[in-house]
Chains A and B, each alone.
Chain A
């Protein structure tokens, strides 16, 4: 399988506005310290880490909402590290993003159909209406929802609209940033199941950011553990859960609430 993303020596720092002196530039906080990894085409990569580990920042670099300070990001062989917005625009249809908070990621003054159709129109698709219908079918929302506003939907339905918007363009890569953390457990299960199906149906490459290893375990083929802006472990899911190498990974695994706290992970498999 070819690599869709190749990331080498990725550094990113952001200005620290709190400690900005009155004159002169703000000091910079380093968020990512030299990451190296690849994402193979068709892979489902889980990115885990505690809060402040840089996982969301890394995600936003992959879809180029943020520009790296140093290093290189190759998307399908093309260097997108420092491309400007105009040069990125034709590439945008190939990598999409699903946001954490479905309330703030959907424009409250637009209907569901307009929300899903907006990126399609921008990218110059002409069969917008048909694609909107198909995307709604894919995520299991009735077509009657086209005329609804986001505040008329439940949390799970809103997140489905977010997913529909991302898949409507049939991108090769989707970044899902903590997309189930705001949902109740039953909606979580439904959205995860949906994502799992979509990956298989559409042949998507997916990066799934979460702080919750049990969610990652259901969905992902590879897991990358981030801690304070560094990769501490990056291995196939099964191997990582069976025998975690890094101390931080073990810490994360131990923090998952189990039905029986005395039972080790390995025994749950049987």
Chain B
């Protein structure tokens, strides 16, 4: 019998190419930063302060994106800043997804008192203003990478819990779940083998979105100087510094901002692209 599925060519899609390409470039830049960055990101030199980017008059060769008011190379600082941003995106995003999705899955499938407890917790949690909550948390725990990651998990697990709970509830009402019970499947087994695969695309889409959000939250915390220590450059910190001298050296503000924007956009587009590509139901 003719199986026409193999005959349909699926293109990888422009959106997956562009977003994946940007994130790959950023990851390479972050990993190789100590070796390929043109300058030491912390090196101050007042003789080269506020150099403009390469295409403008008065630019120095070697300082591609110019320097800030202390003479530090903007490109090198963006590359080093990418390390913090990507580590936070990866660790905080994944941990948030794991915790939130597990609780959401339990609440949505088992219902009963587990749902009652988890749902009330989510309701109460969401009444806190998130950024203030994070700032408060870091003020108590002290700055550092761990604090930033914990803060993001603590604010954002509810996003996963709510969405996954709703999805698990609607999947739980399907007949294939009753069918698993008729076959003698245990409740926990049904949750893992029947429900989870069906909510996984939602979780992946949310996860990439969450990574983008983690980058933003890290930048916000960097902006108010509550991210990792001031020694290592962060995009948020650069934006804060650039804001002070935006009239004399706009490039210090604009380049980290563009990088941040492209990164967050790429994360969300990557999620959509992956879903299009790998969800068998949408094929």
Residues of A within 8 A of B (CB): 63, 65, 85, 88-90, 92-93, 96-97, 99-101, 104-110, 118-119, 122-123, 142, 144, 149, 151-152, 165
Residues of B within 8 A of A93 (CB): 184
17 residue pairs A–B, Cβ–Cβ below 8 Å? A85-B186, A92-B182, A92-B184, A97-B178, A107-B176, A107-B194, A107-B197, A108-B280, A109-B280, A118-B180, A118-B183, A118-B185, A142-B1, A149-B280, A149-B281, A149-B283, A165-B179
- Of the candidates A65, A144, A152, the one whose C-beta lies within 8 Å of that of B181 is A65
Establish whether residues B5 and A152, one from each chain, have CB atoms under 8 Å apart when the complex forms.
yes
CB–CB A99/B179 < 8 A:
yes
Is B57 located at the chain interface by the 8 A CB criterion? no
Q: Cβ of B14 < 8 Å from any Cβ of A?
A: no
Chain A residue at minimum C-beta to C-beta distance from B175 = A105
For B180, give the chain A residue with the smallest CB separation.
A118
- The answer to whether B178 and A109 touch across the interface, beta carbons within 8 angstroms, is no
- Shortest distance in angstroms between B202's beta carbon and chain A's nearest beta carbon? 12
The answer to whether B182 touches A63, judged by C-beta atoms less than 8 angstroms apart, is yes
Residue of B nearest to A95 (CB): B182
User: Which residue of chain B has its CB nearest to the CB of A92?
Assistant: B184
What residue of chain A has the Cβ atom nearest to residue B201's Cβ? A109
Secondary structure call for the B interface: helix
State which size class the interface on B falls in.
20 to 34
- Chain A: CB-nearest residue to B194: A107
Quick one: which of A90, A97, A144, A149 contacts B182, CB cutoff 8 A? A97
Knowing that A118-B180, A144-B3, A152-B5 touch, tell me 7 more A-B residue pairs with CB under 8 angstroms: A96-B182, A97-B178, A105-B174, A107-B198, A109-B198, A122-B185, A149-B281
The 3 closest A-B pairs by CB, nearest first: A119-B183, A105-B175, A92-B184
| Distance between B179 CB and nearest chain A CB, rounded to angstroms | 5
Of B181, B182, B281, the most chain A CB neighbours within 10 A belong to B182
Contact B197 A109 (CB under 8 A): yes
Q: How far apart sit A217 and B182, CA to CA, in the bound complex (Å)? A: 28
Whether A151 contacts B281 by the Cβ 8 Å rule is yes
Whether B175 contacts A101 by the Cβ 8 Å rule is: yes
- Within the assembled complex, what's the spacing in Å between the Cα atoms of A151 and B3? 14
Please measure, in the bound complex, the distance between the C-alpha atom of A214 and the C-alpha atom of B35, giving whole angstroms.
Answer: 80
Is B176 a contact partner of A105 (Cβ separation < 8 A)?
A: yes
Which of chain A's residues have a CB closer than 8 A to the CB of B283? 149
CB–CB B184/A123 < 8 A: yes
B281 interface neighbour in A63, A92, A109, A165, Cβ under 8 Å:
A109
What is the distance, in angstroms, from B170's C-beta to the closest C-beta of chain A? 10
* Closest chain A residue to B195, Cβ basis: A107
**Quick one: which of B143-187 are within 8 Å of A by CB?**
174-176, 178-187
